[in-house]
Amino acid sequence: MEQTNHTFPLLGDVFPDMEVQTTHGVKKLPADYKGKWLVLFSHPGDFTPVCTTEFVSFAQHNDQFKELNAELLGLSVDQVFAHIKWHEWIEDNLKVDIPFPIIADNLGSVSHKLGLLHPSKGSNTVRAVYIVDPQGMIRLIIYYPQEIGRNVDEIVRALKALQVSDEEGVATPENWPNNSLLGSRVIVPPATDTEMAQERLKNYECYDWWFCHKER
């Protein structure tokens, strides 16, 4: 199968500057979110079942994101009036308010910049999540196929883990804070020389010098 080359931001890149139309008015990215974490998530289209379940869940988790100094921002290639009508439908029929803005990328320019359009899926955006830190740097990217809905709890967990890693200079294990080996403990960065390797064994609990952990 012929491969198509794509250029889009990667982990560690600064989120590209852009001005977008949303259901809450025009926003400048990432400037309008400076000092906050931004969770930008795309969906294939309005008035679709899987996307509707996701938007309900994001709305239900909105307070958790705000407690983590994070703002939610949706995106699809639908026009703004479709976003507004879908928002109204969810509120009227499912009794859930959508408190966050949704980008109307009907020309596809934002999606092209972020690598959200896949040739085999026509003009629909893939399910993607970008987590951008308060300095505007992309820290996490997750892609899902159209057929599989996201787990919003996992996105909250990943955001918490990023913040702990930044604040404490540690790594977090699988499924932190509920890892089967370490529970809520965090992983100490590995030693970079022989002397440090021996100090690690003295100062922390370790399976070996390269696998040390501690309580927060």
First to last CA, the chain: 49
Q: Please, which residues bridge with residue 82 across strands? A: none
> What CA–CA distances, in Å, run from 62 to 11, 67, 98, 101, 155?
24, 9, 9, 12, 12
Rounded Cα–Cα distance for residues 126 and 139 (Å): 19
Q: Which residues are catalytic?
A: 51
pLDDT of 2 reads 40
Q: In this predicted model, what pLDDT tens digit does every residue of 150-182 receive, in sequence order?
A: 999 999 999 999 999 999 999 999 999 999 999
Q: How many independent structural domains does the chain possess?
A: 2
In a domain, 23, yes or no: yes
Q: Does residue 36 sit in the same domain as residue 122?
A: yes
What mean pLDDT do residues 125-138 have? 95
In a domain, 9, yes or no: no
Q: In this predicted model, what pLDDT tens digit does every residue of 1-60 receive, in sequence order?
A: 344 445 689 999 999 999 999 999 999 999 999 999 999 999 999 999 999 999 999 999
Residue range(s) defining the domain that contains residue 54: 18-150
SS3 content of the chain, % helix, strand, coil (to 5): 35, 25, 40
pLDDT of 121 reads 58
Confidence of residue 124 (pLDDT cuts 50, 70, 90): confident
Q: Does residue 134 sit in the same domain as residue 28?
A: yes
Burial code (b: 16+ CB inside 10 Å, e: under 16) for 142-181 equals eebebeebbebeebbbbbbbbbbbeeeebebbeebbebee
For residue 188, give the CATH number of its domain.
3.30.1020.10
pTM for the whole thing? Answer: 0.92
In a domain, 164, yes or no: no
> Contact, 116 vs 126, CB < 8 A?
yes
In a domain, 6, yes or no: no
In a domain, 106, yes or no: yes
pLDDT of 122 reads 59
pLDDT at 195 over 70: yes
Q: In this predicted model, what pLDDT tens digit does every residue of 79-123 receive, in sequence order?
A: 999 999 999 999 999 999 999 999 999 888 899 899 888 666 556
Tell me what the pLDDT averaged over the chain comes to. Answer: 93
pLDDT at 184 over 50: yes
pLDDT of 4 reads 45
Rounded Cα–Cα distance for residues 133 and 139 (Å): 7
> Contact, 131 vs 38, CB < 8 A?
yes
Under 8 Å CB-to-CB from 136, ≥6 apart: which residues?
A: 14, 15, 30, 31, 33, 34
Secondary structure letter of residue 206 according to DSSP = E
pLDDT at 69 over 80: yes
Q: Does residue 174 sit in the same domain as residue 146?
A: no
